[in-house]
Amino acid sequence: MRYFDASALVKRYVREEGSAKVRRLISSDTPATSRLSEVEVASALERLAREGAIARAERDRALTAANPYRARLSWWN
CATH number of the domain to which 7 belongs: 3.40.50.1010
pLDDT of residue 76: 45
Average pLDDT along the chain, 77 residues, taken 10 residues at a time: 93 94 92 89 95 96 82 49
Alpha-carbon distance 21 to 26, whole Å? 9
Domain count within the chain: 1
pLDDT of residue 58: 96
Alpha-carbon distance 22 to 60, whole Å? 20
Does the global pTM surpass 0.85?
A: no
**Alpha helix ranges (H) inside 1-51:** 6-13, 19-28, 37-50
Boundaries of domain holding 72: 2-76
Q: How far apart are the first and last CA of the chain?
A: 34
